[in-house]
Structure 1
């Protein structure tokens, strides 16, 4: 593996079988994926698309039916790698009768942190997630949002190189969501690699560098968020002080009228529109696989057209 690639999957496949060993559910089919060091990578998909199965395969909690997964250049089945990971599951499994400090000290002992280092980390993390005023309250008294905060702190207690977060903003109010997204960005700036799995598309659009969209166990789209959301076949022109008579004119007319040309670029769709389009197309064409990436172009652009619907007011190229 390239030293810049921190996760790689090759033909990763998982089939769940019934009691008699017969294939029951194809949860993940031939997933080829690379995640680079220091990026925020989003794993998207509807329920049953294979997101949780992928995360469990990466953590070594499941064994693949076919294919391989590598983390830090080693097989995902090597449990020693988990010392370098942090994991926040969709539902945090916390001891309800412990308070925030006791919870983090407990997990710090599991990672064999020294008492002095553990105390330092606990104080830092409680402050980071905004629970200083509630650090002596029992977890059972916490709201869903507060439990997500302490769950994030627990995932960071060992100062991991890579962090897997499943629905990290679930249950948080808008202020709390904004704060958690800021913390995730800060982790990236410190060189951490973050894998996000979720359904809140606006949040994923805000913070992810790249995304992969899964549907029915197959990879349907992969690329940088900016490239995937760009409507390639539409050009929008932004001007300043343009007379009304020139609104329908093209770039040459704009210059002739003495207006200031501010930008000529491609409009973008939203991650929600992209996500829904891919899921609908997948339902209409089951079994269709995504094509290879091309620089600057979403994978689907080669086959079914650019993602998203173009704004009605945008001017199309002649």
Structure 2
């Protein structure tokens, strides 16, 4: 039997979806008697921003170092951009900002970028390097020595180092820990730009608000294990709308019940919206209620926050461990 032609085989390969930007399965790491990472598996798709959350000591930084080949796992597999993480061709397309970083204080910001471009073995024109510094707000400090930079400015430089080689995957470990509110907003905007460019991002951050604003999915680690993962919609559950109303007739209450699961406490009404609905239907609901003679005093769309969901998951894990110790 004759197999497919070379052109057909090439077409079949071209039609395959690209490999995930990062893929890991069953990662384990023990330091002496302490298990730091225990069976962690997740993926980061192309153009996807994934948040890595969890308390201190949950294993987040160890997972990142295993992804990058900086720490050897005791068990498990890692692929970066479809290649083993030990393959230099995969790491060449990855940008990394570590949680703890230090740059040569006698170099200028421009020289630091030039050094890291050379170490990466890529060619990045000087104009692009200048644009990269401008992107992180250091255009005016390109010729200043790093030794005179504040910690926040050094963190901005670290972001430029992570981005300068035009990576397909960016791994950021606490990228805003030293930044002021304006700097954190700049990083959020930068992450959204990377997302538009189909650059994948793995973001480890204690600032839950920024994770909630920019991430497509979240992986929650606790005690070295994946406690929960999914999209924000999956983790946070249904949206709801809370209203304070007067003069609610039977017809008005029926209209509220038609919008979603209804609960009432005095003049406070809460409608849990079905999964296929969103808060865009709230104005129509309010208009219908007013048309039925209802006085509307307050309308508050919302859902459980990511912070509250994270606390619930971690508390549940703690209670499960405590009950297990007692059994």
Q: TM-score, normalised by structure 2?
A: 0.76
Specify which of 281, 285, 291 is matched with residue 258 of structure 1: 291
Specify which of 313, 323, 326 is matched with residue 278 of structure 1: 313
Q: Distance in 1 between matches of 2:116 and 2:173?
A: 19
Q: Distance in 2 between matches of 1:34 and 1:247?
A: 51
Q: Distance in 1 between matches of 2:291 and 2:306?
A: 37
| CA RMSD across the alignment | 2.8
Gapped regions of structure 2 (runs ≥ 5): 1-15, 257-284
Rate the CA distance shift 1:167–1:257 in 2: closer, same or farther, 3 A. closer
Q: Distance in 2 between matches of 1:153 and 1:260?
A: 58
- In structure 2, the partner of 1:226 is 233
Q: CA deviation at 1:237?
A: 5.9
SS in 2 for 1:48: coil
- Is 1:105 the counterpart of 2:114? The answer is yes
- Do the aligned partners of 1:42 and 1:196 also contact (CA within 8 Å) in 2? yes
- Do the aligned partners of 1:60 and 1:78 also contact (CA within 8 Å) in 2? no
Q: TM-score, normalised by structure 1?
A: 0.78
Q: CA deviation at 1:235?
A: 4.3
Q: How many residues align?
A: 274
Specify which of 126, 129, 132 is matched with residue 122 of structure 1: 129
- Stretch of structure 1 that moved more, 248-257 or 126-135: 248-257
Higher helix share: 2
Q: CA deviation at 1:274?
A: 1.2
Q: CA deviation at 1:79?
A: 3.3
- In structure 1, the partner of 2:246 is 244
- Is 1:11 the counterpart of 2:35? The answer is no
- Do the aligned partners of 1:63 and 1:77 also contact (CA within 8 Å) in 2? no
Gapped regions of structure 1 (runs ≥ 5): 18-23, 289-318
Which aligned runs of 4 or more in structure 1 are off by greater than 4 angstroms?
A: 253-257
Q: CA deviation at 1:197?
A: 0.5
Q: Distance in 1 between matches of 2:305 and 2:43?
A: 24
**CA offsets 1:223-269 (integer angstroms, 9 cap, x no match):** 11133123x4x74366xxx96212996343685762599xx998411
